[in-house]
Amino acid sequence: MERMIALARQGRFDSEGPAPSVRPDIEKVYALGEATKHDICVSTASPRSVSGIDRIGNVCAGGICHAYAHDGRCVSMFKTLYTNACTHECAYCSNASCSSGGAVYSYTPHELASLFMDLYRGNYVEGLFLSSGVGADEYETMASMVETAEMLRTAYRFQGYVHLKILPGADRDHIRRAMSVSDRVSVNIEVPSSSRLSEICATKDFKTDILRRQRYIQRFVSKEGAPAGQTTQLVVGGAGETDVEIFKATVREYHKFGLKRVYYSAFTPVPGTILESQCMQPAWREHRLYQMDWLYRIYHYSSCELMSAFDCSDHLANTDPKRAIAQASGLSPVDPNIASYDELLRVPGIGPVSARRILAARTRGSIRSRKELAAMGVVMCRASPYLSLGGWHDSLLARWMA
Amino acid sequence: MTMTIPYNFFQYLLRHDQCTPKLAAYARGRKAEDIEFAIDGRDASIRRMVASVRKEVHMLRGFVRLTAYGAYASYGYLKPRHDVGELVAELLARRYPHTVIILGNAYHSWMCLYGTEGVVQTEGPALASVLASLRDMLGCDSSPQSSEALWEVYYRSQYREKRRNLPYFRKSMTDTLRRSAHSIVESNTNGASTLDAYCSDDD
């Protein structure tokens, strides 16, 4: 122990950063933290490799969760607004100028950086997620947000995860600076189209304030910054949009701007806002959209294939979309001993890991029983109607009646 | 092909609390591929055991809370099910270079430092006695500094009452893991801060 302390003293670098100016204002921490609880992005996975013992913190390729809230959500980052003052008039937002909100708070870059480092050193959080209202104007607020991140990287020698929100209408130079110091950046599109945005916010322009910023980010990502790329978030059901509209917007975002992830947040009415009397959207709607997103990104379903999961009112039912697609397309039972990887992935109850295990097991001998498949991780109760072993397969009522 | 079982899976298996010498001797002759694609009950069982140890390391390195003790040391409570204290301490030490990380409980402690000489590790007696010797070493000018109060405020700010989902919370942050890391703030699942609020909660 004595030797360890001596070694720590010898090699110590100044990672403490500037001394904290004031004790943190607890009400401010709560108010600005609470204002981000509908921001969903919790992933802290970053491909950036970090090394060296002269800096504090690191990033983990898989991300780390530091706690779970009692609503079941993972708490991995210090998610906060820089300020909750905002001149925009988003009908769902408690910080909007048209809402009868509470007190207005704002951090300074030094205060926020110091506060964050206290939590990081205590191993409470994995990184910083910094969003904001636009304050007096987006130029000044974005500059302060970037200054906070730069202070963390230089004065505090922090090399962990940073996610910065790009404010709608932000300056191009600020975007470039933000991307040079952060792992991930994002602009929230909130709604799938320009017409939907005009229904809930009269002060933002969909094309110039949002899509153009995403285009800037895409160009900078390919050139230099933000190793974890860009993401976005949609509010599900805030403007009465259908699931098809949301899904099409998602596909557009992946194709046009090369996004890493699209996040969904089911609309929850906030007291004091214009939409406070609107119905809360069920959590399962958000969940089903995530499943569709997963099928698109990880299972590589085409967007045409996925359209069969929607009903005639352009919404998703509260059932597993993979099973719904298999039923709608009349998927025939496949033999796991000869099926390709893509064919196996189409079977409900088989995921990428179990599909790879099946392929590997085939090289050692044929698969003969359901028990073997279950040992490889296949969820047999879902998969058995779509698998054929030795010429035998279970049937579905619909298939039997046909 | 992406593997879920690491090539050094044997090192994880040895740390499992139910790993017997007989199982270890069997596993020594197996390859990671044998375990990854196992159909046989014994290999599949090893796969589950390795996954259990790796999961505990992954979760506890997030759930452990550190209290700064002077400028050169931080300590935290840890009582893992498997023998993973050493691994968790090393992961945290790499995150906070030149700070001695001390993790432990009433029976055992693990200390680790990551600095110019690489990783230096040792094990010791109960956490309390290690902290007592640390206090003697550092003198009376150093006192523990915890950010628990700040964390509690932030943690409460992220909770959404309308999406309350305690079963999912308990599945992700199990009682065992919360006990292992001594998570006080997270364990208060009724979210109450006053006696009235506590009494009115129907959970």
Q: Which of A107, A167, A99 is nearest to A131 (CA)?
A: A167
Q: Does the beta carbon of A12 lie under 8 angstroms from any beta carbon of chain B?
A: yes
Q: What is the pTM of this model?
A: 0.90
Identity of the residue in B134, B151, B161 whose CB atom sits nearest the CB atom of A124: B151
- Asked whether the beta carbons of residue B71 and residue A16 sit closer than 8 angstroms, the reply is yes
Q: Which residues contact B192 (CB under 8 A, 6 or more apart)?
A: B198, B201
Q: Please provide residue B125's backbone torsions phi and psi, each rounded to the nearest 5 degrees.
A: -80, -155
Most A-contacting residue of B56, B87, B95, B187 (CB-CB within 10 A), to test interface: B95
Asked if B116 lies within 8 A of A64 by C-beta distance, the reply is no
Q: Write down the pLDDT at residue B203.
A: 44
pLDDT tier at A101, thresholds 50, 70, 90: low
CB contact under 8 A, B138 and A118: no
* Phi, psi for B69 (deg, rounded to 5): -120, 95
B21 CA to chain A: closest CA distance, Å? 25
CB contact under 8 A, B160 and A357: no
Ramachandran angles phi, psi of A91, nearest 5°: -70, -20
Mean pLDDT on A373-389:
89
**Could you give the percent of chain A with pLDDT greater than 70?**
94
Residue in the block written with tokens 């701007």: A257
> For B100, which of A5, A55, A57 is closest by C-beta distance?
A5
Q: What is the CA radius of gyration of chain B?
A: 20
Element at B123 (helix H, strand E) = strand B118-124
Is residue B27 helix, strand or coil? Answer: helix
**Chain A positions in Cβ-Cβ contact with residue B172 (cut-off 8 Å):** 65, 68, 72, 74
Per-residue pLDDT tens for A353-370? 899 889 988 888 888 888
Distance CA A49, CA B4 (A): 21
- Report the pLDDT value the prediction gives residue B202, as an integer from 0 to 100: 46
All structural domains of chain B with their residue ranges: 9-54, 64-146, 149-200
- Rounded CA-CA distance A7/B120 in Å is 10
- Interchain CB contacts (distance < 8 Å): A and B: 200
**Interface predicted TM-score (ipTM) of this complex, two decimals:** 0.90
Reply yes or no on whether the pLDDT at A306 is more than 50: yes
What are the pLDDT digits (tens) for B33-83?
888 887 777 888 999 999 999 999 999 999 999 999 888 899 999 999 999
Best CA proximity match to A50, nearest among A41, A35, A61? A61
